[in-house]
Structure 1
Amino acid sequence: MDITPVAIDDRSRPTPAPVPSTRSEAHAALKDSAGVGLGFLPLGLAFGALVTQSGLDWWWAGLSAALVFGGSFEFLLIGMVTASAPLAAIAVSALLVNLRHVFYTLSFPLHRVSGRLGKAYSTYAMCDEAYALTTGEQARTWPGRRILRLQFFLHLYWAGSSTAGALLGSLIPDSVTGLDFALTALFTVLALDAVRDLRGDVPTPVLAALSALAARLLFPGQMLLAAFTLFTAALLARHLTTSLKHRHA
């Protein structure tokens, strides 16, 4: 009996997928966050300058950016702190402004992040921009470590630019106004980019605009929460209507 060993062609075996190194994942996360980080820079500088112009110490901007990390709420918080608003009013305002994050949890890829500490930080550092980047088509294969690094870099951009803005705020003349409009300008740009990504889905931005208009007219004191509620209800009604049409077709 011939027992001559037979050579096995290794090329016929499936090649395992390469495991990205820690350095390559960090570099990829840094590259992913660069575009939004550049948008954070002028916004953070404006926030830091607004802090010092409001009479608060410069370190307040960095502390708020690092611990609160609330974006639009931080601009609101400046006025509430300078007006000595009650702590309960600040807490309720923070809840209402950031309540939109509840809807983000429906599709944010938190399940890819491993460890309790990692999940806790990912939940804490979830902002509008991080949600937009991690729920896109190209991010569906990102591992948890890449998502965490992306959020950390966004957090760092915001805290660093806010601190720099506060340190440079004393150089800005008091006659300069409109720094608090920087947040509105950023979200306008993000909204325009989102509309472009809809690729002809006209009803969605129309529903969003009508929801905002109705909330502004009917609930001016709670416009953000009312607009999100109306928009969510409109999307659910649209989905149910479309499903019924398909069933009867």
Structure 2
Amino acid sequence: MQQDVLTFPAASASATRRTRIPQGARDSLSAGLGIFPLGIALGLMVMQAGLPWWLAPALSLAAFAGSLELLLVGMVATSTPLAAVALTVLVVNFRHVFYAFSFPLHLVEHPVAKAYAVYAMIDEAYAVSASLPERERSGPRLLAMQIACEAYWVGGGLVGVALGAVLPGPVKGLEFALCALFTVLTLDAFRSRKELPSVLLAGVSVTVALTLTPGTAMFTALLLFVALLLARHAVTARRTGREASHA
């Protein structure tokens, strides 16, 4: 009897894990519809830039950051200085610092699994996780969703490489893939009133950058946007603490 009592929780946990993993894979499908085509664009861009085919999966595994990888292809092709590449990586991916405030990393217990969850904390994974009710979240479900998202991205890149190798000529307009990605993310933010202030701050950043530094507008806008987000977070945290003290 005692042995049955001890083994039942373990069996129940194993059954729950087997249920959560397929749920995580299903959660990734909506994001995968956007990730896979962008992966194809990345693979095509690598081939059209005259770079080795293996750079597409290498970037996808080493960086796993869609917008950054599309930028890096052009920077690698033009032999951009390493310092400029490092600064671009820092500025473009600095937004992930804010994701960590609400991303449910505490659900992942194993240190190696937690490290992977941090590495695979992309925009789409954050959006999918945020859309789930808190009671339905779990470590296995989160990891399964993130692994599936990376599979879409790496797989799309390999398909793009294969297409680029057999196409007779270059495909025009692939550089618009990055602009299209940010346009979709902006529209998603507009649909959520909670994120409307961030969209407005982004608009202010771009306007100021185009006015003051038109030659380096993107870099200036990113730095200004990060500063404004930090200021917004500080104001929000102070307001929340004040309301808590009054309550």
Q: Could you state the TM-score of these two structures normalised by the residue count of structure 1?
A: 0.80
Structure-2 separation of matches of 1:183 and 1:113? 31
Partner residue in 2 for 1:11: none
What is the aligned-residue identity percentage? 43
Partner residue in 1 for 2:122: 127
Match of 2:97 among 98, 102, 114: 102
1:11-160 alignment, distance < 5 Å: 21-139=16-134, 141-160=136-155
Structure-2 separation of matches of 1:229 and 1:133? 26
Structure-1 separation of matches of 2:80 and 2:198? 37
**54-63 or 202-211: bigger deviation:** 202-211
The Cα of 1:204 is off from its aligned counterpart by 5.0
The Cα of 1:243 is off from its aligned counterpart by 8.3
Give 5+ residue unaligned stretches, structure 2.
1-11
Whichever structure has more helix as a proportion of its residues is 2
Structure-2 separation of matches of 1:94 and 1:148? 24
CA contact (8 A) 2:205 2:222 kept: no
> Which one-letter code corresponds to 1:146 in the other structure?
R
SS at match of 2:175: helix
Q: Could you state the TM-score of these two structures normalised by the residue count of structure 2?
A: 0.81
Question: Residues 104 and 217 from structure 1, CA distance in 2 versus in 1: closer, same or farther, beyond 3 angstroms?
Answer: farther
Question: Residues 175 and 115 from structure 1, CA distance in 2 versus in 1: closer, same or farther, beyond 3 angstroms?
Answer: closer
> Which one-letter code corresponds to 1:76 in the other structure?
L
The Cα of 1:194 is off from its aligned counterpart by 2.5
> Which one-letter code corresponds to 1:130 in the other structure?
A
Higher gyration radius (CA): 1
Question: Residues 152 and 139 from structure 1, CA distance in 2 versus in 1: closer, same or farther, beyond 3 angstroms?
Answer: farther
CA contact (8 A) 1:214 1:227 kept: no
CA contact (8 A) 1:33 1:154 kept: yes
Question: Residues 216 and 26 from structure 1, CA distance in 2 versus in 1: closer, same or farther, beyond 3 angstroms?
Answer: farther
1:90-239 alignment, distance < 5 Å: 90-139=85-134, 141-198=136-193, 203=197, 205-218=199-212, 220=217, 221-234=219-232, 236-237=234-235
Partner residue in 2 for 1:5: none
CA contact (8 A) 2:41 2:160 kept: yes
Give 5+ residue unaligned stretches, structure 1.
1-17
